[in-house]
Structure 1
Amino acid sequence: MPLPVPGADAHLAAAPTVIPSLQHWTPGEGGTRLGEGFVVVHPPELAEVAATLLADMAELAGLSGSAGDGAGAGTIVLALDPALEFPADNATAAAEGYVLEVDGGVRVSARTAAGVYWGTRSLLQMLSASTTLPGGTAVDWPNYPVRGFMLDVGRRFADPAALRDWLRFMSWYKLNTFLVHLNDNEITSNTQRPWTAAQQAFRLASDSPWLAGLAAEDGSYSRADWDSFEDEAALRQVRLVPEIDVPAHARSFTRWRPEMGLDGGDSDMLDLGRPATTELVKDVFSEFVPWFRGPAVHFGADEYARGHSEEYRAFFNAISAHVRALGKDPMAWGSLTVMSGGAGAPGPDGYSRDVVVCAWNKDWYSGRAAVADGYRVINTDDALLYIVPFADYYHGHGLDARALFDSWEPHVFGDGLDLEPRHPQLLGAASAVWNDLVLLAYNERAVHDLVKPAFGVLAQKMWAGAVAGLSFEEFTAQARAVARWPGRELLD
């Protein structure tokens, strides 16, 4: 079923407040009031989406409803329509787009459960203004398939409740990719402490005897904890991307198995000159990848010691192939300019191209260089998108929301290295929190407080891009109106 594309004036006129904003809104007549006892009608495939909507409406709007049969006023219909077409030339529109119609009743339709779920987020935000919904039709879809956020729990443990809250918070703004950085260590050049005293942590705790001593003593996640994250992610249409960072940032490994470390274990880097090191890393991935339900696994690969390019390349290719053999799409931080001057020829004499590159630093490996070498890229540019809480570098007090609103979109890397908007190899973007300052006292709520002010802007740019004629002040006011999100356990 093709859908009409309203003109720009129709899109801007009287559109409901939704963050990120709707791609298109066609005003209709009248309105629809949802009150106590409303009914959600859905096919069996959308039972979880319906149950989540019912719970969230009870929490946010104070309205009790039920699943059942009905039609007309007071009824919300959730529907899957595989023939639905969107006025966009990207696959993401079909995968995650939706149509929300308000005309006596409410109907949310999409090709996929994910699309229907995103439509219910817009419906809930519309209810933040009034339980009487304006008549009209929203046709909405994301511009990019990856709309992400990364949290470093390796350097600072986060309570399991906080991770589940991050999933809910992200999904409220239609972000769909949560990267969880599961191991890391103190930057000893910051603290002038020896490696023997450095903070380090590996945050997954297996019952397998051979892994005894690897999990962090100051906090780690059991299989039950991780299952709770995966369950929440599935409900909220967010993909978890776990990261086990090797061969650098690996003090938890070199403390556990000193013989596998550079300099006899007196470092945070693995000794890639030992074949046994790569085999050990493969075994660790083999142990934990079955925990992970999402399609991708991140293996780090950043900031390794220079001067070991051949060993690094062999390791990069071996671990990416192993992750692929375990049934997951491999992902890594871009480092190939520094490590080798570029990816080189594909095949056994170069780097595997079957890896998604997070382009985090323009010197180590820019997004433009990665694209030129044939990689698919996620914009995680450090100068634009990193927060190191309370540091005097990397936006220690939060990202610059106004600057992001005025001049950033996922294709923007800065310094003359931008890609074309919606470049076919650009998957999207992700902001990141790195807990570098391991000796500083702060908690999960403090991190969330730093992230919140710019989160709606990032979501807007990743989903729909800039809206002509909308000022930063107007956007900020709209974001405040829909800032309350459902299901929180720990975060505010």
Structure 2
Amino acid sequence: MTRARTLLTFVGAAVVLAAVLTGSAGAAEEADAANPAPPVVPALQQWTGGTGALELRPSTRVVAEDDALRPVAERLAADLAEITGWPTTATTGAARRGDIALDLDPTAVVGPGTALADREGYRLDTTGAAARVTARTTTAAYWGTRSVLQMLTRETPGTATLTRGLAVDWPNTEIRGFMLDVGRRWFGHEFLRDYVRYLSWFKLNTFQIHLNDNEISPPGGDWSQAYSAFRLASDDPRFAGLAATDGAFTRADWDRLEDVAADNFVTLVPEIDAPAHARSLIAFDPSLGLNGGNSDHLDLSKPATTAFMKEIYDEFAPWFRGPALHVGADEYPREYEPQYRAYVNDIAAHVRGLGKEVRAWGSLSVMAGGADGYDRDMTMHSWNNGWYGPKAAVADGYPVVNTNDAQLYIVPFADYYHGHGLDGRWLFDNWEPHVFPGGQSLTPGEPLLRGAMSAVWNDLVHADYDAADVHGLVEPTFGLLAQKMWRGTEGGTSYADFMADVTALGVGPGMETLTTTLPGAGDRRLDLTATALPPLIAGESATVTATVVNRSEHTLTGLKAAFDTEAEGLRVTPAGSRPKSLRAGESATLSWTVETDAATPTGAAKGRITVNGKLRGLTVAKNTGFDVRTIEAAPDGLRHLAFDATASASSVELDLDRLAPSRANDGDLGTRWASGYSDDEWLRLDLAAPSQVDSVRLFWESACATSYRVEVSTDAVTWTTAATVDTSSCGDETVALDSPDPVRHIRIHGTKRATTWGYSLHELWPFGTPTA
């Protein structure tokens, strides 16, 4: 990808640029010949391109010119060895030709002169005989090494190159983070360690770990039957039985995670959440809970409750090496506000006494109508405008972290918030850390805005998904959010080009189990695209076609391709002939036949096509992914009519693409259409051909219709009622139609809603027989 040369303007720009940029006015006239900025994510703040490339070889060393940088040099050497396949040495002393040098210089100009830039900014110079990273701190030098690794291009097994030029790079935002709820779902130690490395790959520096929680609603109102977990296992007998049995940190486990975090310059922020979300604590000691212990809210009227929480923080605060501890403090019943205020103030002071900065979920608008009487020495995560919006928090003097639920929450596979991942296109076009919905955006550069953090909340404690599934939801916007938190919006770059950069970078080196899920991941010298696969109806077959293009200047040899999917009830076989090599610029078409059997169930999975081969002896690979949706057979003697129909609707909730009408006939029960918030709304399917329609099957979301009509038409102008449902069962509902003549259009017309929301359908499947 080609990026325009970028120079940021800041106070004292003339002096700074004179100090950090090579070249002259004459060099500017030759800008067309200069190297464009390399595709680093987050994008470099400043880049002055040289010409050509700096070649690295197996003899390349990583040289720490300051002893304090020896650990960073060792880490870079290990990562280089993994990427290149060469054993790479880390050493101290003076760099020689072809080396990578790391240097600390307390006077280096590494940005606009802010405290944050001085602390985390670096210079990366690849114009000389050796590559050189210069910084004022070890943290900043480490960020420079991530850019070195992302810049690497490999052409043959014995060489790698770095684009020649000079970069000056620094973050705009102090806290650049991600939060993972392990209280409701355990992910395993390997995954958590890998996620520390993954944050670091994109220069994110804060990993908040939500360590206790419970399911949202107890079965039958009985909280003793609700899932809950506390994820820290003390060896103190006082806390025997508190830790979850399906996954928890021992002190040794947490120490290992802290070690990995330190190696990757990521700060862990543990969260022990109370006085709400506290079922695991009440299960340990029912006397701590409201309603005689049948609650997930602590009873703050009892001094023993606050005393117990202080013991919890006393026990575990020494485990935590980072400066901050998050105390939760959200979603407690408003009726107990006086006790809540006393608790928050007491716990905040106590945690500070343990040497920790206090962070909390902003809740003061709902709880108290403001901050009067509340401890002011806390950082507030502004997670919901209603509970405590950013403008109110800033007006009250609180530092703020943007963790806004409407924009940044993923609840895996839920039908609220972002159940299938954040909206990447919207974030790319609209979001930066100061942006909040509902007119609550802060002024860019607001001094009390400390940063931002996306979050995964595992509300659906009984749903069938795992860590890899969550990673698949997080990864598509992870690098994008890192870009916005470090540098902000990068002009002149399209969303598609930016995501191509993210995809090419993968998850970074050093992983234990984590791999990329992004379609198109792999070597930039190959292009691979696949045709969309239509919904596969039981008993039918389809063809998947992919095109691979060799974008390199050399012949690709040993071409191989594979199709993989976890979808049930499928048989996949290669179709057609395949070349074994591709000349420079040449393309090839690859095909597979996908067959279902009569018992194939309805479901959704991912498919992936992978190709690999060799360029000048170097193994290269590329993959692309797509949805595989299987559909159970239609009733005997009938056919599915939905999947080649065109959907439209009277309205779409908030005009969100993820709730568009087409989501109701895409064959995926995990997506849905949603209307505006009124009774008189409709969803329509225009059939591919006139058809005799026998019945319709509706898959309602909880926002269903209590009553509705099924209407049919031949011209989409005059409508006839084919069925009236006065008392809907919601859920999965099949309705027989009185429609003796062929029709071209079918409409579900709501007359009364079951909720205050609109209507929402996961799928609408008409069954019948085409007559033309």
With normalisation by structure 1, the TM-score equals 0.96
Q: How does 1:39-188 map to 2 (within 5 A)?
A: 39-42=61-64, 43-68=66-91, 69-88=93-112, 90-102=114-126, 103-128=128-153, 131-188=160-217
What does residue 197 of structure 1 align with? 225
In the alignment, the residues of structure 1 paired with residue 200 and residue 186 of structure 2 have an alpha-carbon distance, to the nearest angstrom, of 22
In the alignment, the residues of structure 2 paired with residue 219 and residue 389 of structure 1 have an alpha-carbon distance, to the nearest angstrom, of 20
Tell me the alpha carbon deviations over residues 224-278 of structure 1, each in whole angstroms, 9 at most, x when there is no partner: 1100110000000000000000000000011111111111110001001111111
In the alignment, the residues of structure 2 paired with residue 113 and residue 269 of structure 1 have an alpha-carbon distance, to the nearest angstrom, of 43
Does the Cα contact within 8 Å between 2:43 and 2:483 map onto a contact in 1? yes
1:433 aligns with 2:461: no
Q: How does 1:219-234 map to 2 (within 5 A)?
A: 219-234=247-262
1:421 aligns with 2:421: no
What secondary structure, in the 3-state scheme, does the structure 1 residue paired with 2:401 have? strand
What does residue 369 of structure 1 align with? 392
In the alignment, the residues of structure 1 paired with residue 109 and residue 369 of structure 2 have an alpha-carbon distance, to the nearest angstrom, of 44
- Letter of the aligned partner of 2:179 in structure 1? M
Segments of structure 2 that go 5 or more residues without pairing to the other structure are 1-14, 516-772
Does the Cα contact within 8 Å between 1:23 and 1:139 map onto a contact in 2? yes
What does residue 273 of structure 1 align with? 301
Relative to structure 1, the CA distance from residue 286 to residue 3 in structure 2 (aligned partners, 3 Å threshold; closer, same or farther) is farther
1:133, distance to aligned residue in structure 2 (A): 1.2
1:17 aligns with 2:39: yes
Does the Cα contact within 8 Å between 1:186 and 1:200 map onto a contact in 2? yes
Tell me the alpha carbon deviations over residues 342-399 of structure 1, each in whole angstroms, 9 at most, x when there is no partner: 101xxxxx11111010000000001111111000000000000000000001110100
What secondary structure, in the 3-state scheme, does the structure 1 residue paired with 2:334 have? coil
What does residue 556 of structure 2 align with? none
When you count helix as a share of all residues, which structure comes out higher? 1
In the alignment, the residues of structure 1 paired with residue 151 and residue 221 of structure 2 have an alpha-carbon distance, to the nearest angstrom, of 52
What secondary structure, in the 3-state scheme, does the structure 1 residue paired with 2:335 have? coil
What does residue 347 of structure 1 align with? none
When you count strand as a share of all residues, which structure comes out higher? 2
In the alignment, the residues of structure 2 paired with residue 260 and residue 184 of structure 1 have an alpha-carbon distance, to the nearest angstrom, of 15
With normalisation by structure 2, the TM-score equals 0.61
Larger radius of gyration: 2
In the alignment, the residues of structure 2 paired with residue 2 and residue 395 of structure 1 have an alpha-carbon distance, to the nearest angstrom, of 43
In the alignment, the residues of structure 1 paired with residue 399 and residue 256 of structure 2 have an alpha-carbon distance, to the nearest angstrom, of 30
Pick from 35, 40, 50 the counterpart of residue 28 of structure 1. Answer: 50
Does the Cα contact within 8 Å between 2:390 and 2:400 map onto a contact in 1? yes
Tell me the alpha carbon deviations over residues 382-419 of structure 1, each in whole angstroms, 9 at most, x when there is no partner: 00000000000111010011100000000001111000
Does the Cα contact within 8 Å between 1:128 and 1:482 map onto a contact in 2? no
1:262 aligns with 2:287: no
What does residue 379 of structure 1 align with? 402
Does the Cα contact within 8 Å between 1:244 and 1:299 map onto a contact in 2? yes
In the alignment, the residues of structure 2 paired with residue 151 and residue 171 of structure 1 have an alpha-carbon distance, to the nearest angstrom, of 15
Does the Cα contact within 8 Å between 2:198 and 2:507 map onto a contact in 1? no
In the alignment, the residues of structure 2 paired with residue 419 and residue 62 of structure 1 have an alpha-carbon distance, to the nearest angstrom, of 47
1:44, distance to aligned residue in structure 2 (A): 1.5
What does residue 340 of structure 2 align with? 312
Does the Cα contact within 8 Å between 1:3 and 1:86 map onto a contact in 2? no
- Letter of the aligned partner of 2:398 in structure 1? Y
Tell me the alpha carbon deviations over residues 56-110 of structure 1, each in whole angstroms, 9 at most, x when there is no partner: 1111222322123443421111011111233425321111110000022110011
What does residue 209 of structure 1 align with? 237
In the alignment, the residues of structure 1 paired with residue 456 and residue 111 of structure 2 have an alpha-carbon distance, to the nearest angstrom, of 35
Identical aligned pairs, as a percentage? 55
* Bigger mean CA offset, 122-131 vs 63-72: 63-72
What does residue 295 of structure 1 align with? 323
Does the Cα contact within 8 Å between 2:35 and 2:50 map onto a contact in 1? no
RMSD: 1.8
Relative to structure 1, the CA distance from residue 21 to residue 129 in structure 2 (aligned partners, 3 Å threshold; closer, same or farther) is farther
In the alignment, the residues of structure 1 paired with residue 325 and residue 228 of structure 2 have an alpha-carbon distance, to the nearest angstrom, of 21
What secondary structure, in the 3-state scheme, does the structure 1 residue paired with 2:471 have? helix
- Letter of the aligned partner of 2:99 in structure 1? T
1:135, distance to aligned residue in structure 2 (A): 1.3
1:128, distance to aligned residue in structure 2 (A): 4.6
* Bigger mean CA offset, 21-30 vs 294-303: 21-30
Q: Report how many aligned residue pairs link the two structures.
A: 486
What secondary structure, in the 3-state scheme, does the structure 2 residue paired with 1:249 have? coil
In the alignment, the residues of structure 1 paired with residue 59 and residue 409 of structure 2 have an alpha-carbon distance, to the nearest angstrom, of 45
In the alignment, the residues of structure 1 paired with residue 494 and residue 462 of structure 2 have an alpha-carbon distance, to the nearest angstrom, of 40
What secondary structure, in the 3-state scheme, does the structure 2 residue paired with 1:332 have? strand
- Letter of the aligned partner of 2:287 in structure 1? E
Does the Cα contact within 8 Å between 1:3 and 1:85 map onto a contact in 2? no
Does the Cα contact within 8 Å between 1:38 and 1:64 map onto a contact in 2? no
1:337 aligns with 2:337: no
1:126, distance to aligned residue in structure 2 (A): 0.2
Q: How does 1:320-331 map to 2 (within 5 A)?
A: 320-331=348-359
In the alignment, the residues of structure 2 paired with residue 490 and residue 273 of structure 1 have an alpha-carbon distance, to the nearest angstrom, of 46
1:388 aligns with 2:416: no
Does the Cα contact within 8 Å between 1:61 and 1:127 map onto a contact in 2? no
